[in-house]
Structure 1
Amino acid sequence: MQPESQRVGPVNLSERILFIDVLRGLALFGILAANMRAFFAPLDCYDHIGVLFHSRADVLAQFFIEAFIQGKFISIFSFLFGMGFAIQMSRAEARGARFLSFYPRRLLALALFGLIHGLLIWAGDILLTYALSGAILLLFRKRQQKTLLWWAGSLFALPIVASTTFLTLYFSRFHRPWMDPKPPDMKQLYAVIHIYAHGTLRQILAQNWVEWKRELPTQGFAIYATALFLLGMWVWRAGIVQRLNDYKPVLKRVCAWCLPVGLIMSIYVAIVRAVIPSGTVSLWGWSAGILWLPGSHILAAGYASGLALIFLHQDWQRFVHPFAAVGRMALTNYLMQSVLCTLFFYHHTRSLYGRMGPALGLAPTVILYGAQVVFSNWWLQRYRFGPMEWLWRGMTYGKFPSMSKDESLPTIEPPSLSSSPTTLSTAEGEHATSSITTPDKITD
């Protein structure tokens, strides 16, 4: 009998569902496009970029990003993380291994990556949030499908109820001055810009520490992240991704409903934020704040289902295949985006930090992501794993796998569009064979 550490170790590259990699890879583009504004300007300007950049092109670019990108692709990324949790758990059970023998180490490694990323590279890290939410998922690993849905719905509703309650109190006799939203402090903003544009490495790291501590309250996103994780678990257990073609009618209905509804909500939010100045108190502003995350999640569902329909079309599959390599190296590419952008804006083009608006920021977004597509495909033609994926696996399983490609492994082919069972890929880029008997319809 093999040692447990071997039974739960990395698996062959040929065992995968290509669609999951493609979806994850494209989600990384949206994450980069949304985050770019926080690479060339202070984090305090992320939602108030208009206080620094007022040109028509910048206003339109900011509107485009808020309406169609911000919050949508991180939702997809979070959803896939939860799906990966369910995949790894089912794989461990199929091999007779104890899931808890390795997954906590995986989360600890992810938390370590998040701390290093947030403290030393860029304060807008999401990995620590994922590690915290991933730990919460351990409580749901034996729960029934309807329980996952109930908790996901409750967690989605909790911040909405809290925001609505706060809004009601604000416009009542219980109003207090501390409730008033405040626009960014321009003096402080320009001080931060000066540090990142002209400061020493020590000054930049010190400012990054200040911003990281300021961002800690945003770990409340873990509530939404956990809800998305649970939804990802539910979708995998329902067998939807394993049998995409069987669920094509469902995907069409989801796309037909979620795309228009999500677009209406997201465009409304973007219009309100563009029209109402930062710090202005109004019902319109509060309603936009309440609708932003639900609208983002709904539109994300429309995007994901639409991409699934494109993927199921044989003539269109080839156009999305190159993005699969980006998805397989998701951790590497996510961290690479932060490293390259901070190096570029903080050190080598100091005249651009605080001066490049959202419109010009689209150019480095497209260039960097295009380079990542090329690099990821080049790398995976030569090696089994991305660099950070290799490190993550070694820290998880206590043994570092070989990076060289095994010549005996079969060639990776696109999944069949038939209803036969397929292989799978985790949300973090790890691949495993499904042992789940998937249903023909969504059941509890």
Structure 2
Amino acid sequence: MVPGGLCVAETNMYPAPMTESAEAAPDPTNADTTEFSPTGASERVVSLDVLRGFALYGVLLANSVPWYSARAFMPRDVLLAQTDTADKIFLFLVGLFVNGKAMALLTFLFGLGFSLQLQRAEATGRSVVPMHVRRLASLALIGVCHVLLLWWGDILWGYAIAGLGLLFFRRVRGWRLVAWGLFLALVPMCVTAIPVVSAALRPLTPAPPDHAAFRAAVYAAITGDDRLALAVMHAKHALYFVGNLAPWYFPWLLGRYLFGAWAGTTRIVHEAEARLPFFRKLLAWGLAVGLVGSAIHPVRQILMRQGVKLPEWLYVVLLAPAEVGTMSLTAGYAAAVVLLMRRPAWRRAFLILAPVGRMALSTYLGQSLVCTFLFYGWGLGLAGRVHAWWLWPITLCVFGLQILFAHAWLSRFRFGPMEWLWRSMTYGRLQPLRLPARREELA
């Protein structure tokens, strides 16, 4: 599980990444129809697919830097010897512009999707609860399989657990959703960072007896070819990592969902054409506030590498501005996409990403499959052998292939393969997968 943002240094084994992985999150535009069946393509909001496509590349890059490449588990002296100036510049830029933003966008889309499901359920007089619970249970099961079979950093089961909290807010509307979102995203994280609180929580969270030895064991499993040993270490690491963050992580996810729920209930994205002045202001303020706040964590890391130790109280004080910066910059990114989609040339370019966004779950899981093959010992074994900045061209190639695959797949099928499985599990019956044959093909 790889959340973004700053984490308590004393209680975390590693610097917190973003996961972003990803949608890993549910497809927010695929809410239930009045008959509780999957949403048709004609009902989709293309801007959301494009946003999800952008987020998925951020997920891939952010997860590749510390996790797939195993940089987070390498011996410190080896890592420092392998890091040159180009790597340091690349890591700073990833920290500033990428880390945390993809997860923020995907959690926003998750919450937006819930609000659409709720609106459809209310329109038919049915309860959204049974369908929502089935969707989350199916997602959690897929996530557990992901951890055991491919990669420890799965986000799906965490999304599913936090997603249950959305049911408590299904009657809340308007700016109260934003207020609750800010409270849940900021307060638990800041409170648990207070030294006396973190010290009290530490005995209650699972942790390995020796962190350094455990990291070495994880690195050995990643670079080795014993798949059973790798699965065991993945399960242990997922437990330790998420268990360590749990006191604030699940409320934090739920808080971010609520921003999306606000957007869904106000239909601000669906009615973007009538709200362009709002998106222009959001772009300006989001970039201004976001760049300042998002710089806190990368600058702190630079200072730490140079041996500068910041006071613990300053670290706690900076948590909230850093989180606000992440959310603000993410909002600026979203506003930029919405505005640029109004320009024909930009729209044509962005639409290339839409198929990847439509099959986000398949894309996310596919990233784990391809990247573990590239870096792990059971595949090409690149872990520990590449500079950080090399991950940029590597991930661009991987994502480019995923774009081609998504276009080819969706030219014949309604959903991505994992989306089809998820829907079939949710509705308790096999969903139609193939697109109807075109008339010219039947002639």
Q: Give the whole-Å Cα distance in 2 for the aligned partners of 1:296 and 1:322.
A: 26
1:26 to 54, 65, 77: 54
Q: Which residue of 1 aligns with 2:238?
A: 212
Map 1:280-359 onto structure 2 (within 5 A).
281-283=309-311, 285-286=315-316, 288-347=318-377, 351-359=381-389
Q: Give the whole-Å Cα distance in 2 for the aligned partners of 1:347 and 1:216.
A: 25
Q: Does 1:259 align with 2:287?
A: yes
1:142 to 159, 171, 182: 171
Q: Which runs of 5+ in 2 are unaligned?
A: 1-31, 203-209
For residue 324 of structure 2, give the secondary structure of its aligned residue in structure 1. Answer: helix
The CA deviation string for residues 47-102 of structure 1, in whole angstroms up to 9 with x for no partner, is: 99965742112111111111110001110011000001111121233244432232
Q: Give the whole-Å Cα distance in 2 for the aligned partners of 1:228 and 1:48.
A: 37
Q: Give the whole-Å Cα distance in 2 for the aligned partners of 1:46 and 1:76.
A: 33
Q: Once the 2 structures are TM-superposed, how far is the Cα of residue 163 of structure 1 from its aligned partner?
A: 5.5
Q: Once the 2 structures are TM-superposed, how far is the Cα of residue 367 of structure 1 from its aligned partner?
A: 0.7
Q: Once the 2 structures are TM-superposed, how far is the Cα of residue 289 of structure 1 from its aligned partner?
A: 4.7
Contact 2:49/2:355, CA 8 A, preserved across alignment: yes
Q: Which residue of 2 aligns with 1:419?
A: none
For residue 305 of structure 2, give the secondary structure of its aligned residue in structure 1. Answer: coil
Q: Give the whole-Å Cα distance in 1 for the aligned partners of 2:75 and 2:53.
A: 23
Alpha-carbon spacing, 1:166–1:49, altered in 2? closer, same or farther (3 Å)? farther
Q: Give the whole-Å Cα distance in 2 for the aligned partners of 1:113 and 1:229.
A: 20
Q: Once the 2 structures are TM-superposed, how far is the Cα of residue 377 of structure 1 from its aligned partner?
A: 0.9
- TM-score normalized by the length of structure 1: 0.81
For residue 272 of structure 1, give the secondary structure of its aligned residue in structure 2. Answer: helix
Equivalent residue letter for 2:322:
W
Q: Which residue of 1 aligns with 2:296?
A: 268
Q: Give the whole-Å Cα distance in 1 for the aligned partners of 2:345 and 2:358.
A: 23
Alpha-carbon spacing, 1:246–1:47, altered in 2? closer, same or farther (3 Å)? farther
**Aligned length in residues:** 397
1:103 to 132, 136, 152: 132
Q: Which residue of 2 aligns with 1:225?
A: 253
Alpha-carbon spacing, 1:329–1:107, altered in 2? closer, same or farther (3 Å)? same
**Aligned-CA RMSD value:** 3.1
Map 1:24-423 onto structure 2 (within 5 A).
24-37=52-65, 38-41=67-70, 43=72, 51=80, 53-159=82-188, 161-162=190-191, 165-166=194-195, 189-217=215-243, 218-219=245-246, 220-277=248-305, 281-283=309-311, 285-286=315-316, 288-347=318-377, 351-406=381-436
For residue 391 of structure 2, give the secondary structure of its aligned residue in structure 1. Answer: helix
Q: Give the whole-Å Cα distance in 2 for the aligned partners of 1:207 and 1:23.
A: 34
Q: Once the 2 structures are TM-superposed, how far is the Cα of residue 287 of structure 1 from its aligned partner?
A: 5.0
Q: Which runs of 5+ in 1 are unaligned?
A: 177-183, 410-444
Alpha-carbon spacing, 1:325–1:214, altered in 2? closer, same or farther (3 Å)? same
Contact 1:259/1:299, CA 8 A, preserved across alignment: yes
Contact 2:177/2:258, CA 8 A, preserved across alignment: yes
Q: Give the whole-Å Cα distance in 1 for the aligned partners of 2:137 and 2:252.
A: 21
For residue 247 of structure 1, give the secondary structure of its aligned residue in structure 2. Answer: helix
Q: Give the whole-Å Cα distance in 2 for the aligned partners of 1:316 and 1:398.
A: 40
Alpha-carbon spacing, 1:114–1:318, altered in 2? closer, same or farther (3 Å)? same
The percentage of aligned residue pairs carrying the same residue is: 32
Q: Give the whole-Å Cα distance in 2 for the aligned partners of 1:80 and 1:313.
A: 23
Q: Give the whole-Å Cα distance in 1 for the aligned partners of 2:113 and 2:94.
A: 28
Alpha-carbon spacing, 1:168–1:131, altered in 2? closer, same or farther (3 Å)? closer
- TM-score normalized by the length of structure 2: 0.81
Equivalent residue letter for 2:110:
F
Q: Give the whole-Å Cα distance in 2 for the aligned partners of 1:52 and 1:100.
A: 53
Alpha-carbon spacing, 1:321–1:47, altered in 2? closer, same or farther (3 Å)? farther
Q: Once the 2 structures are TM-superposed, how far is the Cα of residue 286 of structure 1 from its aligned partner?
A: 5.0
Q: Give the whole-Å Cα distance in 1 for the aligned partners of 2:173 and 2:368.
A: 38
The CA deviation string for residues 353-380 of structure 1, in whole angstroms up to 9 with x for no partner, is: 1222321111221111111111101110
Q: Give the whole-Å Cα distance in 2 for the aligned partners of 1:301 and 1:46.
A: 37
Alpha-carbon spacing, 1:10–1:52, altered in 2? closer, same or farther (3 Å)? farther
Q: Give the whole-Å Cα distance in 1 for the aligned partners of 2:61 and 2:198.
A: 36
Q: Give the whole-Å Cα distance in 2 for the aligned partners of 1:332 and 1:151.
A: 32
Using the TM superposition, name which of 301-310 and 214-223 deviates more.
214-223
Alpha-carbon spacing, 1:325–1:351, altered in 2? closer, same or farther (3 Å)? closer
Q: Once the 2 structures are TM-superposed, how far is the Cα of residue 408 of structure 1 from its aligned partner?
A: 8.1
Contact 1:269/1:289, CA 8 A, preserved across alignment: no
Contact 2:189/2:252, CA 8 A, preserved across alignment: no
For residue 347 of structure 1, give the secondary structure of its aligned residue in structure 2. Answer: coil
For residue 83 of structure 2, give the secondary structure of its aligned residue in structure 1. Answer: coil
The CA deviation string for residues 180-206 of structure 1, in whole angstroms up to 9 with x for no partner, is: xxxx96665444323211241122112
